[in-house]
Structure 1
């Protein structure tokens, strides 16, 4: 279970971040001036598909994730050195993102912090990287018109990271995604934005806590703020998360299970309903065509061999039936045969019975009736 939780966390952190950047880049391309309509439509399609991929990823993560703790320090080796690249990629994708670093972190030539402490531990660097990555992803997804400010502050014994977003004065806010929150102050990271989003905040809290730090998030003015404080030398093991009752599943897992259940039910019911509609449509069409090819028994009784075709025509319906004798039946030589049904009522005892009339040289030469199993 611990390994499944780690896989789910890394899927969310890495894939979700990159897919959201694809959606943001497609949105920026859609707004580019002078873009042909077909290219603009393609950009919109890419953005919509990327959003759908994020939703499906959230469902998969919800199923993978179990209420167990991830192994401390697990995950790809991405630390403070990559934070600048994260901000640069977000800015290149169209997000108004700014980075500010105070103090000295990892990568210091002499291996010490500004106050003589040691360099930033790798686990702390990875946690900072994840916090910035998730926060920028959420700003891009839920508040694309806001400016994201990333502040990383190093001291002798700890590293603090704060990611805030707020509206840019005088800038027109771009349309939000379909999962955007309704409240103006709701920006990246608000828990009400969906299962995948809640899991992102839960994952950040777990990752920071396992590194010995503290994590907070919430509305800040007209935007949202995500903050983490990580000690370089945690003195104690971080407190465990509140225990759930035995057998209880986390809310996001239960929600994902329900959504997958509805999807499975739809996958069964939709084909069944489609087949039922098609069968009903075919039966209705057969009934309509049958009514137009009925030769009444009384009219059939008036027909006889040698009768002129013009005289027979007044008794014949508008069209012929598609029904034919089940067994091949020889036709009179050089004759043209026509087929008509006896009744269009599917509940009649004679439903399916067929009359065959054969003409040669403008005269009726034979009349035949096929009933029951003799007709297909």
Structure 2
């Protein structure tokens, strides 16, 4: 295929130069000062469309600036409708041009290659690059947001557990202050006490009663609306807690090793919370599984271990109806907040908490020293994996679809365009075929009017490579030997040359 037609169209090469570079830099005026900057994607695609229309007639190397423009348009904002509209416009313009200038049909294959390689492929690469860049940025932003939310949830769970600890302190301090008020009242009524000491005892009793009331008000502020009032001392009885769980249908057993006498109240309440939270989680997440509660008391510490096996066969990991929970169990926090609060409770008495899958089930174990250290142990790091949000999964699917489209659409579009061009060329060639018998009857010297009736309606748009330049004053016409592209004579042509309206030569040109 030759590209010499540009030389016969004045100014075409300069027009191609302008159209090819115009997408890259566009001169604009901002605030009265001229400057060069990248144009918007719509302007880039307009210029790219004009550029590849021009480069189809000039040469392949102009595809580079056109590809750059298409790539920049793909990276810019906007939907894919823009490229579809402009490509449709380019194809319509090409069809109109061929209708008026049939010789342009010889460049149809090059035109299709430019559309696919210099426009479609770079545009899809730019679109994929933009979506991938947005996906990465959105992923990091989402990860930072989820990390902040996770920390807030963990901090909320710790604050709730501290509020529960404050309620327990209210129970203990309120009881002690009540005893002080009772003793002061008895002292006031003691016989033989002078008036000054009676007034002092009365003042002590009043102050103790006021302190109990103010303590209740402070704890009431810390308590959430959904929480129950402070529990009585009997709720700390682990044996009764396990018995209530067994009565509700949970297969649970309790084993105690050592003497619990002299156990600090803070340690006892922490052990109670460990068993309570573990039984609640077992009832919720492993219905029907057997649960074992083990208590071990020594002189310096208490150890608690609660282990549940795998859920019973046929039981769902999280049933549609809430499973039976131990009596008095507080609402369990979502997303692991219950265990976070439990860790805060254990940490405040100087202990440590361990939990995780074990032996096909789940185990919660706590070590509780009877004497808290001077400095509380640090909080453990939360290594739980954050779930992938649905929006991020949709963005990844969108990027994969864009990549798949970038691979398939140019191929499909190229195949379709080549099929259309091939059909068009076949139809056009069928109207330019000169019958071999008619060609054999032509004689040099015949008048053009004599042979006009056997000539096809139009000439062949293809010129064999062996065609020599025309002499001065001689006009040559080319007609195809066959319209069948699979014929060995495809591409061959008959050349008829005329001078002053008479046939001066006839040749059969074969490459």
Q: Taking structure 1 as the reference length, what is the TM-score of the superposition? A: 0.38
Q: Taking structure 2 as the reference length, what is the TM-score of the superposition? A: 0.28
Which structure would you say has the larger Rg?
A: 2
- Which protein is richer in helix relative to its size? 2
